[in-house]
Amino acid sequence: MIRMSEELLLNADIAAKKWSFEIPPAPIDDSEIAETVTSDVVVVGEGMSGLCTALSATEEGLKTTIVTASSKPVGRGGSVFATYSKVMERLGYPRFDATDFYLQEFASSSYNVDQRKWYSFHNNSETAMNWLIDMLEADGVKVVLENGNVDDPQSPTYQPIGTHAFMGENVSFAGIGITFALKALEKNFLAKGGTVAYRNIAKQLVKSGERVTAVIAEDSEGRLIKYEATKAVVLATGDFSANRDMMAKYCPSYAKYFINDDVDYDAAFVEKGLYKGDGHRMALWAGAAWQRTFPNAPLIQGSRTCSNMPYGAHRGIRINKNGERFMNEDSNAPYTAQAVLREPDQTAYAIWGTNYAYDIGWQAHGSTRGSDDTPPEKVIERWEAGVGNGNIVKGGTIEEVVAGLGLPHETTLATIKRYNELCRAGVDTDFCKKPKYLQEIRQAPFYGGKIDEYRFFSVFGGPRTNHNMQICDENDVPLGGLYAAGTMIGDMYANCYNFRIAGHNYGCCLTFGYLTGKFIAKNE
């Protein structure tokens, strides 16, 4: 048995050993069970995916119970992608064409993802989104299209139209309204006869023969309750980013950044570690294999300092601590985070002039599609606010800003001089950046700031899951009676979650949840 420790040296022996989390605990004896509850479907977890699956199953006439460790529906953020919808139609936006875009995504994933899931999402997200929109609009919630990066479709920065967001009381920022959806889904679930067992921490799955037939949970009084499922158990327990051992095994390069290992089952907008992979471990103990894609893809957001796009990063010059330009700056914030993590001290800087506010268009994070550009004066106001809180350095000369950032004087000035020459020439012969992103640093006052903000949000994937969301063994044979939903679905993402489709994961929580409820009704 091995555990995560500083001096852990992997070798053949150790590699063959099991991690402690892979070893099943002793089965809970029936004599310890205080109560048994029988349903057709038991869904473990009350996040977006758990609720969508449970409501969909209930609408198919299945008696459904949600067993959740949380005291209420749980979620964070609120960007939810769909290929098309009645809201997109109303606003006159075209259906998302995945033809080339998906091929780009598969290439950026080294073709190491389950394409059947991606196309199932593509072909069904409209129906699922319209299902949700009907519930939200019935509650008076406004469904809008969140603004994304407008760019050349083949650019790694480009984001297709289709990210939906929900607005209402106290929420006018697009992308933080997931609670509206959770409330509407739970309300409809309860109204249609569903049951929720709150503050019940699922501990173990129960098998009869090869089939999973129940889950045992501990309630808030410490009693063990057996939730029997005549048709299926659906695991929707979120991620494993707060489990240090699982991160070390399945996402080793980023394990050291996910330092939070306290679990709050009601966790909302939490960074650096959410859950401990309870559902993942229960599935492994029941005989599931792990996904094929290795490593699991982390969800990391990067710096938006002086970014002119909602999910962009600064696309003027980027300089590392040695005063060197190190990349083509035409990348979005998550990809920028990956690039800056490779630089010395994992840090980098941006330097720009006042002209930058006038030379390009500015679209704000949290704005809606079609909204006007942010006026340059407002952009400068934000920079000044950054100067005020010490995040941005300001100077009457570039030299002052370079000094203020503590960058090496000679090298940095030479780098900026070279960059400005390229901008004036209109051709970037060093990093081939598109001419439209070559804005000279010419007008005082000048500004500069760090672009090394990393937001370690989550990690995606888990047990081997086929395109019907059935959890499978090493031979890709469904275990029987066991499904996955949401973040823990295996083989959906590879390398990193790149935000090119903003709200893709919630889109999958919604669409696959909707489909799985119906699949169980039809096939179990």
Ligand X SMILES: Cc1cc2nc3c(=O)[nH]c(=O)nc-3n(C[C@H](O)[C@H](O)[C@H](O)COP(=O)(O)OP(=O)(O)OC[C@H]3O[C@@H](n4cnc5c(N)ncnc54)[C@H](O)[C@@H]3O)c2cc1C
Q: 198 vs 431, which CB is nearer to ligand X?
A: 198
Identity of the residue, 21 or 275, whose beta carbon is nearer to ligand X in the bound complex: 275
Q: Using the rule CB under 6 A, is 56 a contact of ligand X?
A: no
Among 39, 49, 83, 149, binds ligand X (CB under 6 A): 49
- Chain-centroid distance of CA 24 in Å reads 29
Q: Which stretch binds ligand X (CB under 6 A): 27-35, 45-53, 137-145, 327-335?
A: 45-53
| x/- letters, 372..411, toward ligand X (CB under 6 A) | ----------------------------------------
**Site for ligand X contains 509 (CB under 6 A):** yes
296 binds ligand X (CB under 6 A): no
Site for ligand X in 156-195 (CB under 6 A): 175
Task: Tell me how far apart the alpha carbons of residues 477 and 74 are, in angstroms, rounded to a whole number.
Answer: 31
At 484, which helix (H) or strand (E)?
strand 478-484
| Cα gap 289→464, rounded to integer Å | 5
Residue 207: phi and psi, rounded to 5, are -115, 145
CB of 175 to ligand X, least distance (A): 6
CA distance 236 to 296: 17
DSSP tag of 36: E
Of 213, 458, 470, 498, the residue at the interface with ligand X (CB under 6 A) is 458
Closest CA to 294 of 17, 496, 494: 494
- Using CB under 6 A as the binding rule, the residues of this chain from 479 to 508 that contact ligand X are 486-487, 503-506
Pick the binder of ligand X from 62, 69, 212, 459 (CB under 6 A).
Answer: 69
C-alpha to C-alpha distance for 260 and 241, rounded to whole angstroms: 8
Q: Which is nearer to ligand X, 44 or 438 (CB)?
A: 44
Residue type, 109: S
User: What is the full DSSP assignment across 159-211?
Assistant: --S-EEEEEBTTB-STT--HHHHHHHHHHHHHHTT-EEETT-EEEEEEEETTE
Question: Which string of x and - marks every residue 274-293 that binds ligand X (by CB under 6 A)?
Answer: xx--x---------------
With binding defined as CB under 6 A, does residue 433 bind ligand X?
A: no
> Rounded distance, CA 54 to CA 17, Å?
37
Residue 271 or 329: the one with the smaller Cβ distance to ligand X is 271
Helix then strand then coil, % of the chain, to nearest 5:
35, 20, 45
Q: Which of 289, 277, 263, 287 is nearest to 21 (CA)?
A: 277
- Closest approach, Cβ 407 to ligand X, in A, equals 32
84 binds ligand X (CB under 6 A): no
Residue list 198-237, contact with ligand X (CB under 6 A): 201-202, 236-237
Are the beta carbons of 332 and 307 closer than 8 angstroms? no
Q: Is the bond leading into 445 cis (omega within 30 degrees of zero)?
A: yes
Contact 295, 252 (CB under 8 A): yes
Which stretch, 2-10, 128-136, 271-279, 439-447, contacts ligand X (CB under 6 A)? 271-279
Q: Which residues bind ligand X (CB under 6 A)?
A: 44-50, 67-70, 74-79, 175, 201-202, 236-238, 265, 269, 274-275, 278, 299, 457-458, 486-487, 503-506, 509
